[in-house]
Amino acid sequence: MPLDRKTEVNSLGFAKPPSETRVVVAMSGGVDSSVVAAKLAEEGYDVVGVTLQLYDHGAALAKKGACCAGIDIHDARRVAEDMGFPHYVLDYENIFRDAVIDEFADSYLAGATPVPCIRCNERVKFKDLLETAKDLEADCMATGHYIQRKDGENGPELHSAADPARDQSYFLFSTTPEQLDYLRFPLGHLPSKDATRDLAARYGLRVADKPDSQDICFVPDGNYAGVIEKLRPGAADPGRIVHVDGRDLGAHEGVIHYTIGQRRGLGIGGLSEPLYVVKLDVEAKQVIVGPKELLATRTVPVREVNWLGDAPFASAEEWHVAVKVRSTRPPREAVIRPLGPDTAEVELLTAEEGVAPGQACVFYETGSSRVLGGGWIWRG
């Protein structure tokens, strides 16, 4: 029975047959994006797979867990071949270094704790790659992120994934309304990662049992400080570990080896009280430690706010929402007080520990899965 173009829309929201709907799928080589591509190809869409080479994949071939290393490009290409759609590899090394890696290094040197995956989505995947998808005359771009896009009264809305354990909304808070209009997230409604792997097995994908990547793609061994030292020679200048009461507790080999809230690996054993990193003074080259209660804070300044609410951000004196200050923590009740079009002060109704500059503060509608945006925490 032919599709009624006036009344029916396909699964991606377009009033035309899947065969006439071109979709670019961002393929990392992992199981999630591979399932998205295979699913859409099976449904009859005009699928074009695109994989980004973000750094020297020749040097990264042996690094398991890196999301865009050479083996992952190979895996993405094999999925495209098996499912019968075109696949392209785009060299984004320079863009990635300028937009993500350099800021990552500089943020660490400034004593912040950056989240490069957010910047990669914001500045590379949902910016340059999205424009490439438009150049390829695609109707939309699909990714394997676990987040949901729902049609609301005022246009598309961003919602957290159906499976809280897989939800990636924290990493996608900076998605703009214009980007959201063009993006699709076919996995966000699935109940679990097992459901994704079941689909991969059903499609006969050779990546069905491939492990998830656990680390930042260009830091596959988790050694952030080692990467910083390579990018910024001389960055690991030694200094002193100082108690908040002024006591000198010993030497350290560089502020970049520490993060706010850290307890283990401080190298200051023999003390009767457990101590945590409560501040990093980059200029003085000091790691300042103290008791756990000093980590608690209720006031969080944010900037570069991306607002996805229906009314303008600065149109209200305050917004009562729930917020996440770390990706692994549940949303907590808070009040946002706008200070300008993209700056605000967030008051947490219950104090949180380890709120660190460089992390994101993501806003959620209270009692709902809707993501209202977020901002960057910018001072301790």
Residues 91 and 177 in one domain: yes
* Model confidence pLDDT, tens digit, residues 121-130: 999 999 999 9
Q: Which residues are catalytic?
A: 120, 217
Q: Structure pTM?
A: 0.89
Residues 116 and 48 in one domain: yes
Using the 3D structure, point to which of 290, 307, 325 is the last residue of a domain.
290
Residues 78 and 38 in one domain: yes
For residue 194, how many other CB atoms are within 10 A of its CB? 10
Query: Residue 114 is part of which domain span?
Result: 18-202
Overall average pLDDT of the 127-145 stretch: 96
Overall average pLDDT of the 220-234 stretch: 80
CATH number at residue 325: 2.40.30.10
- For residue 69, name the pLDDT band (cuts at 50, 70, 90): low
Residue 254 neighbours by CB under 8 Å, 6+ apart: 225, 229, 235, 236, 237, 238, 239
Query: Is 176 contained in some domain?
Result: yes
Domain count, the chain: 3
Asked if the model's pLDDT at residue 164 lies above 90, the reply is yes
Residues 23 and 125 in one domain: yes
Residues 256 and 157 in one domain: no
Residues 319 and 281 in one domain: no
Q: Which residues are annotated as a binding site for ATP?
A: 26-33, 52, 144
Query: Is 230 contained in some domain?
Result: no
Query: Is 55 contained in some domain?
Result: yes
Query: Is 6 contained in some domain?
Result: no
* Nearest residue to 267 (alpha-carbon basis) of 254, 284, 282, 280: 254
